[in-house]
Amino acid sequence: MRSFAYQKQRPVAVSQTETPSPSLSPTERRAAAGLAAIFSTRMLGLFMILPVFALYAHELAGATPLMVGLAIGAYGLTQALLQIPLGLLSDRIGRKPVILGGLLLFAVGSVVAALADDIHWVIIGRVLQGSGAIAAAIIALTADLTREEVRTKGMAAIGISVALSFAAALVLGPVLARWIGVSGIFWVTAALAVAGMVLLYTLVPDPERSQLHRDAQPALDQLRGVLADPTLVRLDLAIFMLHLTMVSLFVVLPLSVEAAGLEAVSHWRLYLPVVLLAIPAMVPFIVLAERRGRAREVLLGSVIALGTALLGFALFGQSLWVLGALLVVVFTIFNLLEAVLPSLVSKRARAGAKGTAMGVFSSAQFVGAFLGGVLGGWAHERFGPDAVYLVGVLVSLAWVALLTGMRMPEDLGRRVLTLAPGAGDAAALERRLLAEPGVREVVVALDEGVAYLKVDSRRLDWARLQTLSAGA
C-alpha cells in the first residue's frame, strides 16, 4: 500500500456539498453505550484511589512516601507496555476475548490490592490492574461495530465517559473511603470489572467481522513514521508531562488538604465544587484553540498557569480557600489539555495513521503516570511534600521550552471515504483523489474498502468525492 501526500495551492475555492451527518443506529448506540460503560467503569476504578490513598497508606506495613507514590502510579507502567500489543492481539484472536481477559486481570489486581496488608502487595495489585490494558481493543471493537461516517460519534462517547469518570472519582473516592475504607474501594473496583464482563456479553453486540482500522487502532508498519515526526513526538511528551504532573500531585495533595484543616472524610466537599467549576471553565479556551486557531497561545498559557498554580501550592498551601482556587486552575487546565492535545495529534497524524499516532500518544500518557508516582514519592521522601509541587514547576518549565518553536499542526480535517466493491488500482485512485480541490493527503486501503483523507474542509466538495469513489 502506498500513500501520496503533498501541499497544494489553488486560487479558486470550491463550495462544500455535504450530506447531513447520519445518526447512530440502535445497534451502534447500544455498542457505543456498552463499550463506553466498560471503559469508564474501569477508569473509575483506577482513579478513585488517587484522592485517598496517600491518607490511608500509613496503615500498611512497609509504607514509605516512595512506596506510596509507586503504588499510585504502578498501573501506568504495565498499561503503557501492553496496550498496543493487546490491541494487535485482538486483531488475531478477536476483540471480546482480549477485553474479557483484560477485565479479568483488572479484577484479580483489585482483589490482590483489597486483601493487602503490606504496601508491596498493593503495588503488585496495581501492576496487575494496569496489565489489563484493554483501551486499544475497545477502540478497535468500537470501530468494528460502527460505520465509518458515524464512528467519530462512537469514539466521542468513550472520550466523554472517561472525562466524567475522572471527575466522579475525585468525589466518590473520599466518600467510599469514609464508608468502606481503601480496601473497600478496591473491592468496588473488582465488582466494576465483573460488571464490565457482564456488559461485554449482554449489551455489546458481536461484530460481523473484525479488521484493522488504520484511523482507530495501531498498525506496526506505521510506528516508525509516527516516532520520526517531531511534532507528534512533542505532543507525546506534552501528554507525558501532563500525567506525570497530575499523578505526582496526588502523592501529596490529599495530605495538604488535610493539613489545611479539612478532615479526610470530607475531602469530597472540596473536590465537588472544584470539578463543577473546572468543567465549564475550560470551554472558552477550547473554542479559542479549535475555532479561532490559537492553539499555540492556549497551550503556552495553560502550561504557564499550571506551573504557577503548582508554585502556589508550595507557597500558600496552608489555606483551604487558596487550595480550592488553585485546584480549579489545575483541573481546568487538565481537562482542557486532555481535549486539545489529542485534537492536535489527530490533525498532525498522516492520513490513515491516526490510530498508530494515538496509540503512541496514550502509551506516553501512561508512562507519565508511572513516573509521576515514582518521582512524586521520591521527592516527598527525600525533601518533603512541598518538593513534589516544585517538581511539577520544573516539569512545567521544561514543557514551555518544549513548546517554544514547536510547529503547530495545520487545521485539516479527516474523512473516510467508502469505496465501491472492486475498486480499481489503489495508486490511480489516490492520484485522482489528490487532484480534487481541498484534498491534501490520501491513503487507499483496499483491504478495508475505504480511503483515508486529510482535507481542507473549506474547499472540499464531499458529494463529488463520494460520486467519484462510487464510480471507481
What is the CATH number for 456?
3.30.70.100
Backbone angles phi, psi at 415, to 5 degrees: -135, 150
What mean pLDDT is reported for the chain?
87
d(CA 95, CA 81): 18
CATH at residue 391: 1.20.1250.20
Same domain, 275 and 175: no
Same domain, 420 and 446: yes
Q: Which of 212, 246, 279 is the last residue of a domain?
A: 212
* pLDDT recorded at residue 471: 58
Judge whether residue 189 has pLDDT over 70: yes
Same domain, 52 and 101: yes
Tell me whether residue 74 is in a domain.
yes
Number of domains in the chain: 3
Read off the pLDDT band of 51 (50, 70, 90): very high
Average pLDDT of the segment spanning 401-417: 84
d(CA 470, CA 423): 8
Average pLDDT of the segment spanning 144-166: 81
Same domain, 40 and 127: yes
Backbone angles phi, psi at 454, to 5 degrees: -115, 130
Tell me whether residue 73 is in a domain.
yes
Q: Which of 20-29, 92-101, 265-274 has the lowest mean pLDDT?
A: 20-29
Judge whether residue 3 has pLDDT over 50: no
* pLDDT recorded at residue 8: 37
Average pLDDT of the segment spanning 431-451: 82
275, 46, 23: which is closest to 157 by C-alpha? Answer: 23
* pLDDT recorded at residue 215: 78
Same domain, 36 and 163: yes
Judge whether residue 429 has pLDDT over 90: no
Same domain, 119 and 200: yes
Judge whether residue 423 has pLDDT over 80: no
Same domain, 91 and 183: yes
Same domain, 158 and 261: no
N-terminal to C-terminal alpha carbon distance within the chain: 17
Average pLDDT of the segment spanning 11-29: 58
Q: Which of 367, 392, 411 is the last residue of a domain?
A: 411
Q: Which of 212, 239, 262 is the last residue of a domain?
A: 212
**Domain span at residue 428?**
412-471
Average pLDDT of the segment spanning 171-175: 92
213, 225, 205: which is closest to 155 by C-alpha? Answer: 213
Same domain, 129 and 79: yes
Same domain, 153 and 263: no
Tell me whether residue 292 is in a domain.
yes
State the cell numbers at 195. Answer: 460488571
Q: How far is CA 225 from the centre of its chain?
A: 21
Same domain, 452 and 401: no
Helices 95-115 and 119-131: angle between axes, nearest 10 degrees: 170
